[in-house]
Chains A and B, each alone.
Chain A
Amino acid sequence: MVTDLESEVINYLKGELDGDLLEAYKQRERRVFVRVKPSAIRRVVQLLKNRYLMLRFMTLSAVDNGLDMEYLYHFHINGIVLTVRSLKPKEDNTLESIADLISAANFIEREISDLFGITLMRHPEPEHGLVLTKDWPDDKRPLKKPFEGILPPKARPVAEALISSSCVAPISSFIQRKRESAGLSKSAGFAFADEKSMSEFHSMIKDTNLSDKVGFDWEKKRLRYK
């Protein structure tokens, strides 16, 4: 069976990466995108190096999305361009270097480190000072955005309460006492009053991607930003 190189690259990475590959598609002729977990980047690079002798690292792009950093590694393989994307939460301000696997990544990684204030791991020269001065203040990196999601400050408590408790107005113990003294149930029939309903509500919120969109941390049960 004859397959084009784009499909061959996609199938190869699908076969090798299993759960580390989140998405892979041919966008158009000679253009392939794959999305992988950030922990798999070095493995992807090694796999590509092993398989394609004509592999050429073109460059690395970095985008600050507010809550996450997106890294896009662009490779040229025998006439096609492959972009490997990975999204890393900004709570972890580090980037695993690939400079020891591909020397050409050395300078662009240092440039990103300078401009976004990222700490490089495993890099042969990880210190700042390539495009900015070495004493450039860490809190004034020119391309670094504030750690914020899409919600304006006043909307944050509302969205956080809705997702975490199914209700936008948390009840106080004072109101609970007043309700009981008036012969009402402590907190009405809300989902949060029943474990099964709450679990169903939370699963539905995850299914709709609302929590990802607003930047909700399910472990801490609150927004990732204040």
Chain B
Amino acid sequence: MVRYAFFLGCQIPMRLPNIEIAARKVFEKVGLEAVDLLGYSCCPEPVVSRLLDEMAALTISARNLTFAEELGLDMMTLCNGCYETLVEANEVLRHDVEKRSKVNEILKRYGREYKGKVEIKHVIEVLYEDVGLDKIRSCVVKPQKMKIALHYGCHLYREYRSPDIMRKPNMMKEIAMQTGVEIVDYGLERLCCGYPSMQADEELSLKQRLLLKLDRIKEAEADAVVTACPACMIQFEMGQIMLRSYGIRHSLPCINLMELLALSFGVPYKELHLELHRSPVLQLVRRMKVV
């Protein structure tokens, strides 16, 4: 059985537990053991914390990585932001002796040491490389007859293992294709959803990022957008609500890849707590069921 230390991050367990619920159902079906961590913290959050103080951010990341080192397991994340933060910290600490020594000086006071022995993988890599498309396909019992647009999320393009920045997005596309959906191209897949720029300029984030994507996805006649990142999901769902205050209405359902997989694996939608979505996902799934 494939085993990974499971780094859940903040947004998923605290705001979007529906993603965690779906992920655990998927892991069970494909035979993937996700070992929970006890005592972990935020990765830390990539936009604010890392810009504020690099050494503090590296120390927090290194502490989180020591949990996986203690278990003797590689680490798997469900969140694009956590993935980038932890992979980047791992790379910096492995190659910069001075920074590693400073971080370890602090960790040592608490009986910890960062050794650099852990690999970090996004759940997409784990599903693609360790589980495999054949296994995923074999688990699909309810192909999802819907047209979807994919939003990969900016951090998924960050690549340390290969010069090909499309490696993980292509994996995501291939995994999604196993569920029976039709994937539509809308031409703005690479554009950011606007989540990070919400910190600086709400109107720009909504109108110059999210809205452009929503309009193009609507033109492409997709039933839903599928994301791999909780922050992007928050932006797609809350952003549509916020756009109403500018007199703009969209009602595009936004689903996480784990939820799409769980639905295609035959997990009853009621078990997935889709009512937690702030976009009409539940309505879409009910409609598909009737069709």
On B, residues with C-beta under 8 Å from A are 8, 10-11, 13-15, 17, 20-21, 24, 36-42, 44-45, 47-49, 52-53, 55-56, 59-60, 63, 106-107, 109-110, 198-200, 271, 273, 276
Contact = CB atoms under 8 A, between A and B. Distances in A.
Contact-size category for A: 35 or more
Given A171-B13, A190-B41, A194-B39, A205 B20 contact: no
A16 B15 CA distance: 55
Residue of B17, B60, B63 with highest tally of chain A CB at under 10 A:
B17
B200 A154 contact: yes
Contact of B8 (A155, A188, A210): A188
Interface of A: 150-152, 154-155, 158-159, 162, 166-171, 175, 178-179, 181-182, 184, 187-191, 194, 196-197, 200-201, 203-205, 207-210, 213-214
B38 A175 contact: no
Nearest to B15: A169
Contacts of A205: 56, 60
Contacts of A209: 53, 56
A194 B17 CA distance: 20
Candidate in B8, B11, B49, B273 with the most chain A CB atoms within 10 angstroms:
B49
Contacts of A194: 38-39
A150 B51 CA distance: 12
B48 A158 contact: yes
B273 A182 contact: yes
Given A158-B45, A204-B106, A189 B56 contact: no
A182 to B, nearest CB: 5
18 contacts: A155-B47, A159-B49, A166-B42, A168-B45, A169-B15, A178-B276, A182-B17, A182-B273, A184-B24, A187-B14, A188-B13, A189-B38, A200-B39, A201-B41, A204-B63, A204-B110, A210-B52, A214-B52
B53 A213 contact: yes
A159 B52 contact: yes
Contacts of B59: 204, 207-208
Candidate in A171, A187, A194, A207 with the most chain B CB atoms within 10 angstroms? A207
A171 to B, nearest CB: 4
A115 B273 CA distance: 59
Nearest to B234: A169
Contacts of A197: 38-39
A210 B13 contact: no
B88 to A, nearest CB: 17
B199 A154 contact: yes
A169 B53 contact: no
Contacts of B39: 189-191, 194, 196-197, 200
A114 B29 CA distance: 72
A198 to B, nearest CB: 8
Contacts of A188: 8, 13-14, 20, 36
A156 to B, nearest CB: 9
B73 to A, nearest CB: 14
A181 B52 CA distance: 38
Contacts of B40: 189-191
Considering the complex of A and B, which 6 residue pairs feature the smallest CB-CB distances, nearest first?
Answer: A197-B39, A208-B56, A210-B56, A166-B41, A188-B13, A169-B14
Give the most central of A150, A159, A208: most B CB within 10 Å: A208
Nearest to B53: A210
